[in-house]
Structure 1
């Protein structure tokens, strides 16, 4: 199973739901690590954490497109119209990650994080699950079954956080932020709880939001 490709499909799906999702994805695709140094102050996530995440996102999006996947029209148009520097060539980061996880393991953990965040407002019903799976085609049977299991599982946050290896907190929180619109109290509460479970300080959470152009929580 190519978890990174599925992750790219989920990101494509999310960008079609609200301009904010497309904006955050556009920031990552454009190399958000370079936008500000102020966001790096007072937290434990140096560029050595930022860049592997951006590489994985770019690679996953490229894989999604390579297999025939497309972004929703509105999101694709938003990204193409942004007056930002040329999107860097995806970096196939298959080497050793500082967390000790390989490329596919990271992809699977981030898929779970996206599904959990999408469940935060309770709107991931059967019809929505079917629509997402249809939009991610082509998928083989193992990939479809994997997603069905993810969607149907009511994930326990504390149990999931225990599965996150040291060094992946930045990626898990960032992908969770990209998976929601952050326009409801339930979503804000979810992100606060996730940050607290991973022992992120308020300034670290705000730093991630600031870097991605998302509303601050604190």
Structure 2
């Protein structure tokens, strides 16, 4: 729990995978916080006050001190609340955790968006090939139940997009990316991760998000 007198806020959008990372970390550590919901496509005065540089969520505010960027926030939470550490204590393993988390941001998340919402067939095929290659690297890296070992840690939390959001996009666009046949270790990891009690309580309702993504996809295909 947050110590008495501490003020902890999270500015976020319910459907954001980056916000979801922070919520999982906070719930894992038992930190009480206020979720200040933001409206997609709008920039509230509070958001502009606390994140004038990027003007986006998530923004984590601890005793009126704002921190932006989800991976940076995760490290701050881990250093501030010591219980249930999410970064390894070994310096080399910490460096690897940072590397693979950045790899997920650079090579998986953005590429998935493009694979779903870019409709030119030739370009999409190339992007899906790049995404499959990235997922294969993660498949090879996964040696135990979780990236963090027997308990989920930093990379697992960073990879929540893979576990929860890629299956949504697969259903929306009829893709076959994260399957038991294509990536058996990564697929089993995703099931174990989503079924973890802390993660389950941190996830948004699936159906409303699916409806939103379907609506965006259908509007794009209709205007093609």
User: Could you say which TM-score interval applies, normalised by the shorter chain?
Assistant: 0.3 to 0.5
Structure 2 length as normaliser, TM-score? 0.40
Structure with the larger helix share: 1
Larger RCO (CA under 8 A, 6+ residues apart): 1
Structure with the larger strand share: 2
Structure 1 length as normaliser, TM-score? 0.40
> Considering only CA atoms, is the larger Rg found in Structure 1 or Structure 2?
2
